């Protein structure tokens, strides 16, 4: 099994190709199964499309979910995956190695961002300097991922904790974690990033949400 965290187009395409090459004289797999973090859907979709054009006899099946869920499918449910691609390399090391995977590779990074739409409250005011104050205002609706199912969830909480402890934001940073947590209704704590972004697109989707933005950088 190949395990990637997080994933980029070139190396994932290479991993898919290796699955075919490493079969040697045996018949290549008819299907390559990939369990992956929802934040990697676009990257993996592009890689899979390119791979299937070059290898028309092999089908790539992508199954997006939260990163922890992707690992649990293998570890707890015994489901077969040829590649597991997650948004936090620690998940592979902690949950899958050595019983369910022999190695993993880290080759790129993501960034956590605050995403908001044009019709979100105070979207014309928010900045890198005042975001703690703006997000804690009455009427602002926040969304975040569940830390038990997606790295985005615990990275969001960590970002809030660091902002609170930094002292950078003055009075706006006091009890920041508690105040922002209070702005997240239960129905806006989602299983993964895809579900989180979908909730912001609905008819009442005036959410500011925390999400990952791919910023691929080769790790050397």
- Is the model's pLDDT at 118 over the cut of 60? yes
Average pLDDT over all residues of the chain: 81
Q: Of 48-57, 82-91, 115-124, 176-185, give the lowest mean pLDDT range.
A: 115-124
- Is the model's pLDDT at 139 over the cut of 50? yes
Q: How far apart are CA 76 and CA 120, in angstroms?
A: 40
Q: How far apart are CA 210 and CA 197, in angstroms?
A: 9
Q: How far apart are CA 63 and CA 214, in angstroms?
A: 19
pLDDT of residue 22: 40
The domain limits of the chain are 2-96, 110-214
- First-to-last CA distance in the chain? 22
Indicate if 110-214 has the same CATH topology as 2-96.
yes
Q: Give DSSP secondary structure letters for 101-145.
A: -S--B----EEEEEEE-TTSTTTTT--TTTHHHHHTSTT-EEEEE
pLDDT of residue 220: 42
Q: pLDDT-derived band of residue 179, with 50, 70 and 90 as boundaries?
A: very high
pLDDT digits (tens, 9 = 90+) for 36-88: 998 888 888 998 999 999 889 889 999 999 999 999 999 999 999 999 999 89
pLDDT digits (tens, 9 = 90+) for 12-22: 555 555 544 44
- Is the model's pLDDT at 202 over the cut of 80? no
2-96, what's its fold? D-Maltodextrin-Binding Protein; domain 2 (3.40.190)
pLDDT of residue 16: 56
Higher-pLDDT residue of 6, 104: 104
CATH number of 110-214: 3.40.190.10
**Section 138-164 average pLDDT:** 92
pLDDT of residue 25: 42
**Section 180-202 average pLDDT:** 83
pLDDT of residue 141: 87
């Amino acid at each position: 099994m190949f395990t990637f965290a997080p994933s980029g187009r070139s190396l994932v395409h290479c991993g898919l190709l290796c699955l075919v090459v490493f079969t040697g004289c045996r018949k290549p797999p008819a299907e390559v199964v990939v369990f992956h973090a929802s934040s990697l859907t676009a990257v993996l979709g592009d890689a899979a499309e390119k791979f299937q054009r070059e290898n028309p006899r092999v089908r790539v099946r992508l199954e997006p979910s939260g990163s922890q869920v992707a690992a649990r499918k293998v570890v707890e449910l015994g489901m077969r995956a040829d590649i597991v691609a997650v948004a936090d390399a620690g998940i592979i090391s902690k949950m899958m190695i050595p019983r369910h995977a022999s190695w993993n590779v880290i080759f790129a990074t993501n960034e956590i961002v605050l995403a908001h739409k044009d019709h979100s409250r105070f979207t014309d005011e928010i900045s890198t300097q005042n975001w703690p104050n703006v997000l804690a205002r009455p009427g602002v609706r926040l969304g975040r991922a569940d830390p038990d199912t997606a790295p985005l969830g615990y990275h969001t909480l960590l970002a809030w904790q660091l902002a609170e402890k930094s002292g950078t934001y003055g009075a706006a940073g006091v009890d920041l974690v508690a105040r922002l947590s209070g702005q997240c209704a239960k129905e806006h704590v989602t299983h993964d990033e895809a579900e989180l972004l979908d909730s912001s697109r609905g008819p009442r989707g005036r959410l500011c949400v925390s999400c990952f933005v791919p910023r691929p950088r080769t790790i050397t």
